[in-house]
Structure 1
Amino acid sequence: MDIFVLRHGEAEPHAERDHQRRLTQRGEADVLNTLQRGLPELEGVQKILVSPYTRAQQTADIAADLLPGRMLMTTETLVPGGDPAKLAALIEQLQLDRVLLVGHQPLAGTFTDWLCDLEPGRYRMGTSALVFIETQWVAAGCGTLRWLKQPGA
């Protein structure tokens, strides 16, 4: 199974509620840049799982434009304080070969660290960062981090 984890793009610093913050123009451009550089591997993505927060939804919409025909599935499992084990259980339940997760820190980083048995925080997931993980089982320590792409890098 191939799992891609995409952190949302740069968002406005303020909104009435945190979940309502929208992407900035730079955030939109950075997400597009990162996704375009990962496109060869992303081509086989079957489904895009996304947090219900506005900035994540906007990020997923950019991904969906580049990957037409992929179904978006909104899930509370991808909110910032989400549990990596619950996210893993959801992914296993869906039985997909290739999935794109669109969410937030700290979950994007902690899920990657948990799945790949990495030193916590070793790989920084800035806004618009995208990781590619290969794994047979969606369980702690079973994944292999193939790459991490940051905007413009």
Structure 2
Amino acid sequence: MKLIIMRHGQASWSAPSDSLRPLTKAGREEVRKTVGQLKGEGIDRIVASPYLRAQQTAAIASDILGVSVDTLDGITPDDSPAKAIGQLPEQGNVLVVSHMPLVSALTGLLCEGVPYGGPGFATANAAVLDLELPAAGLATLQKMLPA
């Protein structure tokens, strides 16, 4: 299976709470650019954090890729990467839309077996991982896609 871990696009700081920060115009454009590069990955499912900016990122990806979006409550910025792994689908090619620091920690845990040392993610960056099933240390990082 492939697991593509993507950080949401650039978001505004002007919002009543962190969970309600919307994408900026530039953020929507950088998401379109990254998702355009993911067209050949065979993505058949998208899972996203419930935060507005992740939902908006996932909606853009859904429109471009023609696949549905499911919301996972346990993939917000401060959630545990170990618990997040337990919520991920175990088959298919899945795009996961979330936040820093979780995207970095999750990538580190899946590839290296530890939640630190994962790659840095600018907004709308994506890590394409190859793995048999989501578990610590079992993934291989195929590539990082810049925004």
Q: TM-score normalised to the size of structure 2?
A: 0.93
Query: 1:53-110 CA deviation, whole Å, 9 max, x = no partner?
Result: 1000000001001111x2211111111011222221122xx43221110010110000
Query: Which residue, 82, 87, 90 being the options, matches 1:85?
Result: 82
Q: Which residue of 1 aligns with 2:39?
A: 39
Aligned length: 146
Offset at residue 122 of structure 1 (A) = 5.3
Residues 52-61 or 113-122, more deviating: 113-122
Query: Which residue, 122, 125, 133 being the options, matches 1:126?
Result: 122
Q: Which residue of 1 aligns with 2:6?
A: 6
How far apart, in 2, do the equivalents of 1:102 and 1:80 lie? 11
Q: Which residue of 2 aligns with 1:96?
A: 91
How far apart, in 2, do the equivalents of 1:31 and 1:55 lie? 11
How far apart, in 2, do the equivalents of 1:121 and 1:33 lie? 26
How far apart, in 2, do the equivalents of 1:62 and 1:90 lie? 22
How far apart, in 2, do the equivalents of 1:98 and 1:38 lie? 11
How far apart, in 1, do the equivalents of 2:90 and 2:4 lie? 15
How far apart, in 2, do the equivalents of 1:95 and 1:34 lie? 24
Q: State the SS of the aligned residue for 1:139.
A: coil
Question: Which residue identity is paired with 1:104?
Answer: H
Q: Which residue of 1 aligns with 2:54?
A: 56
How far apart, in 1, do the equivalents of 2:13 and 2:23 lie? 10
How far apart, in 2, do the equivalents of 1:122 and 1:60 lie? 22
How far apart, in 2, do the equivalents of 1:145 and 1:62 lie? 24
Unmatched segments (≥5 aa) in structure 1 = none
How far apart, in 2, do the equivalents of 1:115 and 1:95 lie? 13
Q: Among the aligned pairs, what percent are the same residue?
A: 34
CA RMSD in angstroms comes to 1.5
Question: Which residue identity is paired with 1:67?
Answer: L
Q: TM-score normalised to the size of structure 1?
A: 0.89
Offset at residue 118 of structure 1 (A) = 7.3
Q: Which residue of 2 aligns with 1:108?
A: 103
